[in-house]
Structure 1
């Protein structure tokens, strides 16, 4: 599981006896777009959100300080929400959430991006100094639900990167959040339903992670990180070979189910990194990776063709 991979890393780079929570995120709230509502309403939200993310207990595992998952959250308040007649809804706001998380690459001082996504469909009710609370079974507020959802997605991806299918419990926790949100009469905003967002919303993110048809993407998450990237410092050629083969395997999933949200998330996090990895590859590796990446990411095909130069 994840803890075994981390333990190996710590045995090499040193141990710490201090316990900590799972996340170490930088959290910012941007209110520059807020033109009509009183910005003082959001005094304290940034600190509350930071404490909610970094101080809550999200897993049953004990994390050392150096094990904590690093990331960034930027919540941008767009303005006050309106009803169908364009009348302002009191204390309800629209926003977008940019969230990014990374993981260390063993044997190096580098990190690799796990998750990089912007959710533009957030609507939430908030009053000044309102606490953020999350319940596994009750819908408290949309902002807490959305943030908790992405935290469990990130935890699932992180655990998957250390053990094959190691993140299943967290993906199931994210699915439970979707279920609670769908059943709540007071839920605000879009993003929780299968019929919204052109298969790019929260519903489809977790649906993809748990779907048997996306098994190659689950395998990619583990093989790419644990068997590929984490081996690069000791045997770069072996690491590149493993990554190349797992990309070709993931292409089969793309051929059957093109343009899934999981593939888009992978490309958002990894396309530049893959280019850097294979700049030092053999001509055959460069050709194969350029072909695979051009097929699954055609909008950036010209960038991948540069590998052949």
Structure 2
């Protein structure tokens, strides 16, 4: 009887862990190529602290199975050492999404944030407080958690990521003006390629067609290519046309650059198998959105 009860408890505990798994599956790498003062063990603990923060926090009210967690890679390169506990550098973040009916994972986000400054002491926990500010590191990590969630939800339902982009905006709103002035990346005046502009673009009415196109690209095109590749490519061409229109109405927008950073290689490989009309259209659209890499898109013709 005791053995049966123990087995039942184990099964129930396992079921609860599946039903209540957190949303993100984050792997962190920390590079410290030039640091002199800080103890390397500090960064070993920082890696673990970031993973705990991102992976153990409940970011939504939805129930995720373990297999549904969003795979995220973070590479934090610490290149500035202001003191033994204050640092600067850049953060590369990538996130992927599974494609229905296949083992392929499509990139959702591939972004490099060059405006990362933070303080950290060994064994210091990183904590999240909704609607209030703790420190710059927790704010940066929370911001990107919500951006990843928003992009993932947008790819599964039209504008499904709206609540999470609004949460990312709320993270910015909680940054004290003195902190924003001392730590770049939170203000429009800091440049046109920072966290402020990511969320500004995503919530802008001018970018609504972009977000609809993102849904079409993923749910209506990629997710059907396992059974109907021709229809999938046709829908994807139409989605890229809409993205190009957003680029024309909102030139030099950060969100278009983020799209091509994440998707350019995928698009090239998909349309190498397209018909001549599709190839010409995609080359035209992508070259307008990403002129610096025009030669890459010409390779679609083979």
> Is this a same-fold pair by TM over 0.5?
yes
Quote the residue 2:163 is aligned against: 169
Q: 1:251 to 1:186 in 2, by over 3 A?
A: closer
The answer to whether 1:45 aligns with 2:39 is no
Contact 1:21 1:56 in 2 (8 A): yes
Question: Equivalent residue of 2:93, what SS?
Answer: strand
Contact 1:161 1:226 in 2 (8 A): yes
Cα distance in 2 between the residues matched to 1:123 and 1:144: 11
Unaligned runs of 5+ in 2: 1-14
The answer to whether 1:122 aligns with 2:88 is no
The answer to whether 1:191 aligns with 2:191 is no
The answer to whether 1:106 aligns with 2:107 is no
Contact 1:228 1:239 in 2 (8 A): yes
Contact 1:139 1:184 in 2 (8 A): no
Question: Equivalent residue of 1:122, what SS?
Answer: strand
- Where do 1:270-281 residues align within 5 Å? 270-281=263-274
Contact 1:36 1:79 in 2 (8 A): no
The answer to whether 1:134 aligns with 2:135 is no
Cα distance in 2 between the residues matched to 1:179 and 1:137: 8
Quote the residue 2:293 is aligned against: 300
Unaligned runs of 5+ in 1: 1-15, 82-88
Q: Deviations over 1:25-52 (max 9, x none)?
A: 1112222321233333334111111111
Quote the residue 2:80 is aligned against: 79
- Where do 1:155-304 residues align within 5 Å? 155-181=149-175, 183=176, 185-186=178-179, 188-197=182-191, 199-304=192-297
Indicate the larger mover: 41-50 or 200-209.
41-50
Contact 1:30 1:74 in 2 (8 A): yes
Question: Equivalent residue of 1:161, what SS?
Answer: helix
Quote the residue 2:33 is aligned against: 32
Question: Equivalent residue of 1:239, what SS?
Answer: helix
Q: 1:130 to 1:237 in 2, by over 3 A?
A: same
Cα distance in 2 between the residues matched to 1:90 and 1:71: 29
Deviation at 1:273, TM superposition (A): 0.4
Deviation at 1:302, TM superposition (A): 1.5
Deviation at 1:105, TM superposition (A): 0.5
The answer to whether 1:96 aligns with 2:90 is yes
If the length of structure 1 is used for normalisation, what is the TM-score? 0.89
Quote the residue 1:55 is aligned against: 56
Deviation at 1:90, TM superposition (A): 5.9
What root-mean-square deviation, in Å, do the aligned CA atoms of Structure 1 and Structure 2 show? 1.5
Question: Equivalent residue of 2:189, what SS?
Answer: coil
Cα distance in 2 between the residues matched to 1:238 and 1:48: 45
Contact 1:37 1:79 in 2 (8 A): no
**Number of aligned positions between the proteins:** 285
